[in-house]
Amino acid sequence: MSAHHGPASAPPVTVHPPVGTGGRRVTVRGEILGLAHSDADVVAFLRDTGLPDAEELLDDPARVQWRGGHAHRYEAA
């Protein structure tokens, strides 16, 4: 029996839209990792979860979903 983690097609990592003060919330399967202000922050969060190749995953839509705004942009609109 396996745990349900949402739709099978949904990437496990989500970088949410920029917040009003700048930065983007980062989650893995719904678990909040933190507020990123740069790609380096996202990579650090993902490495902390055990993904050594985190930097290479940022542009892989099967692994990372960028919601709202442009990918790799962290400032508020």
pLDDT single digits (tens) 42-64? 999 999 999 889 999 999 999 99
So what's the pLDDT on residue 8?
A: 53
Backbone angles phi, psi at 42, to 5 degrees: -60, -45
So what's the pLDDT on residue 10?
A: 73
Q: Does residue 42 contact residue 58 with C-beta atoms inside 8 Å?
A: yes
Mean pLDDT of 8-28: 90
3-state per-residue secondary structure call for 40-57: HHHHHHHHHCCCCCHHHH
